[in-house]
Amino acid sequence: MKMKRVALFVSTFFLLAALCVGAQTKNVKFPEREIEIMVPWAAGGATDVMARIFAPVIQKYLGVPILITNKPGGAAVPGYVEAMTKKNDGYYIVAWATPSITVTHMQKTPYDANSFEPIIDVVMAPVWFLAPANSPYKNLKDLVDDAKKRPGMVNLGNAGAGGGTHMIALAFESAAGVKFNHVPYSGGGPAVTAAVAGQVDAITCGPPEGVPQLAAGQLKCLGIFAESRLKEFPNYPTAMELGYDFAMGQWRGLAALKGTDPARIKILHDAFKAAMEDPEFIKLAAQSGLLLDYRNTEDFRKLIQKEDAYYLKVVKENKLGSKY
């Protein structure tokens, strides 16, 4: 009997201890310290701009500093691989965008579309083709005509091999019946810099990439892969207007590490949503050329799954990359 009472006491003690720890964990304030957002592309690219515009505004709603860390190179793969080694406590967030999943179908990667937890989608931007201001191309048709005359000789820059802009450019090749020489950079920012310097014939990127350079007359827009002209950029023609039945864009949002507490993901989502509705953020986004497109956590997850299946189909049908 004495042994049974001791055993019962011990069991009760550990049960109460577990409940206390659980209660304490549940009641821990989040966040209590700075939150880091990792952008696996170079500074100045579209996703980097999105994160940096968010940083000062989101602090008002989370009450803690926001740190932006760039881990460019390797089509974003090294950045995400390093992210997977971090603690999944909600304090480490990754920029999650179309190139995050397209590369997983172009080559073998240690992660896929399901390896991170979606938080919120912020931007949906169609891709556009930009060329140096002194380029002989007046529009997308001129670029295509030249590529048909010189197959594989027209240099087209992108934000990284296997990334969204590269993938969309490859898909456009099939639609237009041409072949470009694809030149990868470590992000949209470096690609824009290369175009301004005349190092390539044109680049494929998307707003806000290239917006300041277009305004300054350093670049020209050859065409946009949208179904209709963008109200923010009404002077730039769509590919459809120029005779190409083609429209594709990229989404950009934020994701948490796998296994992050759903309650913390909700706190992050609600804060970022509030920031998206903040007049300060809306003004900054408009000035930077960000095309906002809010989707909550579940809708963002559905978008990712749909896009993942689409790009898998594109890669296999066109025999792109080295994975399949």
pLDDT at res. 5: 54
DSSP strand pairing (92-97 vs 35-39): parallel
pLDDT at res. 220: 97
Gyration radius from the chain CA atoms: 23
**What is the C-alpha separation between 170 and 179, in angstroms, rounded?**
8
Q: Answer yes or no: same fold for 35-123+250-318 and 126-249.
A: yes
pLDDT at res. 227: 87
Give me the sign of the Cα torsion angle 232, 234, 237, 238. Answer: positive
pLDDT at res. 269: 98
Calculate the alpha carbon distances from 26 to 19, 95, 257 in Å: 10, 27, 19
At residue 122, the 3 state secondary structure works out as strand
For residue 187, the Cα-to-chain-centroid distance in whole angstroms is 11
pLDDT at res. 125: 85
Q: What's the angle, vertex CA 83, arms to CA 78 and CA 87, rounded to 5?
A: 160
pLDDT at res. 318: 72
For 101-217, strand residue ranges (E) read 116-126, 128-132, 155-158, 181-184, 202-205
Per domain, the residue ranges of the chain are 35-123+250-318, 126-249
Beta-carbon contacts of 272 under 8 Å, excluding residues fewer than 6 positions away, are: 54, 58, 61, 119, 120, 122, 254
Phi-psi group of 198: left, alpha or beta (phi > 0 → left; psi -120 to 50 → alpha; rest → beta): left
**pLDDT tens, residue order, the chain (324 aa):** 444 554 444 454 444 444 444 444 455 799 999 999 999 998 888 899 999 999 999 999 999 999 999 999 888 999 999 999 999 999 999 999 998 999 999 889 999 999 999 999 999 888 999 999 999 999 999 999 999 999 999 999 998 887 788 888 988 998 899 999 999 998 888 999 999 999 999 999 988 889 999 999 999 999 999 888 888 889 999 999 999 999 888 899 999 999 999 999 999 999 999 999 999 999 999 888 888 999 999 999 999 999 999 889 888 877 777 777
pLDDT at res. 23: 41
CATH superfamily of 35-123+250-318: Bordetella uptake gene, domain 1 (3.40.190.150)
* Closest residue by Cα to residue 80 from 51, 141, 39: 39
What does pTM read for this prediction?
0.77
Give the other-Cβ count within 10 Å of 222's Cβ: 25
**Residue 253: strand pairing partners:** 96, 121
What fold is seen in the domain 126-249? D-Maltodextrin-Binding Protein; domain 2 (3.40.190)
pLDDT at res. 14: 47
Give me the sign of the Cα torsion angle 261, 263, 266, 270. Answer: negative
Beta-carbon contacts of 32 under 8 Å, excluding residues fewer than 6 positions away, are: 64
**Residue 220: strand pairing partners:** 131
